[in-house]
Amino acid sequence: MAKSDVAVRIRDVSHQFGEPGDARFVQALQRTSLDIRRGELICLIGPSGCGKSTLLNIIGGLLAPTTGTIEVDAKPVRGPLPHDIAFVFQENALFPWCTVKENVMLGMRFQGVSRTEQEKRARDALAAVGLNDFMAHHPAQLSGGMRQRAALARALSLQTDILLMDEPFGALDEQTRIVLGEDLSVLLARAAKTIVFVTHSLGEAVFLADRVAVFSARPGMVKASIDIDEPHPRKPSFVTTEKFSDLRNKLYGLLHDEIRKSVESAAVTELNA
Amino acid sequence: MSAPRKQHEKLLSRGLQFSFLLALLLVWYLATARWGVSRILLPAPATVWRELDDVLRSGEFLPHLRVTLIELASAFAIACTFGLGSGYLISRTRYAMAVFEPLLASIYSVPMILLLPLYVLFFGLGSGSKIALGATVSFFPIVLSTIAGFGSVERIFVTSARSMGASNAQMFRYVLLPAALPVVVTGLRMGFTIALLAILGSETIASFAGLGHKIAQLAEAMETARMFAYIAFAVAIVAILNIITTALERRVKLQ
């Protein structure tokens, strides 16, 4: 793989919370290495607590790894890179005291984008996610799905090459997830961004990803990586194909043992506590 | 519930509140006119009204009102400066919050009026001791609500602002401040109200001037009708200030 094809290079990244011996010591990530290709949508999937969200925060510079290195565009990450990387968090990351449009504009304001440019980009981004009619609403007036659309619009308006999405649909009901997933696939096919998408959902991973990285139970590391060879935007009918269920089953097989391990180790931890 | 019905209920409760006050006035009138309560202890409503009219027309209240309001403004300004400042600093670390929040909360439960003799000793019988007491009582709700407001900003707001490249100043102006403001403003209003109560109260105990001073002086001179007039006047001032501060609080919270 040529160097310029790699958007994010993760090398031997480990992360621990607390010190060994502490009651709350957790080894979240263990010597994880992964190359994220430019323009791909990679899903990180794995049992709870395997460190996939931790890895996302490390890539975004919100968290410094205990050991190992991260490079974005061949430059080491030492803190947030607001011009290169935008986040969509699980939920409630919109500021409740701002309207939807103000929320989108605020991110750009932090980066010194001019007022007229803020207006224009906010309108475009909100139109792209289908929220034109809700620009003056406050987040509390929107449904969970609409709030996540707004959060996505805020991230898109920053025009970064890389988008990190931390279980963005995790708190939504199944039907809303499906619709948002379909819309996201259409949207991202146009955007040509590098996307790292953390999810718990096998179906979501297969439907959205170009590649799925499967994490082992804690301490997490990449156990396998599966290519999903299907052009974007994906059609809703993709989920009914045999290819979809084969891939989903393959993922399920890889994950199943890890999930059991993680549940059992959690039970042991609880017994010891 | 339909809007006209709501309107109707509101009207009804307003009517009941008004009738209650009217009944109180009636009992007052009956006590003086029929039940033979001493005119010196309890002057007739009409007499008090005439006195109040005279107080307002003569402008005699002005110097006293001015003293009380200046004391209030100074006390509140001092309490805001120290309360907001130290509250914000304490809210910046979990450790400082764990140390100071319970400490300040327990001191807050001490009746501060006990400090008045000490403050009179320190600052004299004039405005100084009233300002000191008002500032002390008002400081606590302000500092506690500032700690609560800035200390409980959800992490995700800070994290997401940081990921979008907010500078420290932008973080304060666009994230911390709006997140904390509703709680802080409640503390400011409470601080203002109890500063006013403490100042009026301490003026009646030991002072040279102010509305509270005038009321105590009239009581000592057995001029109860005029004293009642001043009490009514002071109550009106407190009510007006409360209406203003509550309206300001609501406006800030709606933004």
CATH number at residue B116: 1.10.3720.10
**B80 lies in the same domain as B169:** yes
pLDDT at residue A270, as a whole number: 59
Say yes or no for a CB contact (<8 Å) between A106 and B156.
no
Within a domain: residue B113? yes
CATH, range A6-84+160-272: 3.40.50.300
- Per residue in B189-222, pLDDT (tens digit) is 999 999 999 999 999 898 888 889 999 989 888 8
Closest C-alpha to A168, from A159, A156, A160, A158 = A156
Angle between the A115-128 and A100-110 helix axes, to the nearest 10 degrees?
130
Within a domain: residue B226? yes
Within a domain: residue B47? no
**B81 lies in the same domain as B204:** yes
B254 touches A: beta carbon within 8 Å: no
**B75 lies in the same domain as B26:** no
Question: Chain A interface residues facing chain B, Cβ-Cβ under 8 Å?
Answer: 60, 62, 80, 82-83, 85-87, 89, 92-93, 95, 97-98, 106-107, 109-111, 154, 158
Within a domain: residue B115? yes
**B6 lies in the same domain as B80:** no
d(CA B155, CA A61): 16
Q: What is the pTM of this model?
A: 0.81
SS3 A198: strand
- Per residue in A112-131, pLDDT (tens digit) is 999 999 999 999 999 988 89
Range of the domain at B241: 58-254
Within a domain: residue B86? yes
pLDDT at residue A271, as a whole number: 60
* Token reading at B204: 């009646």
pLDDT at residue A22, as a whole number: 79
Within a domain: residue B76? yes
Chain A contacts in chain B segment 202-231 (CB below 8 A): none
Helices (H), A192-241: 202-208
- Per residue in A7-33, pLDDT (tens digit) is 899 998 888 888 877 777 888 888 888
Q: What is the average per-residue pLDDT within B84-104?
A: 94
- Per residue in A221-267, pLDDT (tens digit) is 888 888 988 888 888 888 889 898 999 999 888 888 777 777 777 66
Domain range list for chain A: 6-84+160-272
Q: Which of A59, A81, A83, A106 to mutate to test the interface with B (most CBs of B within 10 A)?
A: A106
R_g of chain A, CA atoms, integer Å? 19
d(CA A17, CA B194): 46
Residue A234 phi, psi dihedral angles, 5° rounding: -80, 140
* Residues found in chain A: 273
In chain A, the residue whose alpha carbon lies closest to the alpha carbon of B156 is A93
Say yes or no for a CB contact (<8 Å) between A89 and B157.
no
**B66 lies in the same domain as B12:** no
**B77 lies in the same domain as B130:** yes
B158 touches A: beta carbon within 8 Å: no
What's the structural domain count of chain B? 2
* Token reading at A87: 């986040």
Say yes or no for a CB contact (<8 Å) between A89 and B159.
yes
The complex's ipTM works out to 0.87
Contacts of A60 in chain B (CB under 8 A): 163
Task: State the smallest CA–CA distance between residue A2 and chain B in angstroms.
Answer: 29
Instruction: Please state whether beta strands A6-17 and A26-37 pair in parallel, antiparallel, or not at all (unpaired).
Output: antiparallel
R_g of chain B, CA atoms, integer Å? 23
**B190 lies in the same domain as B112:** yes
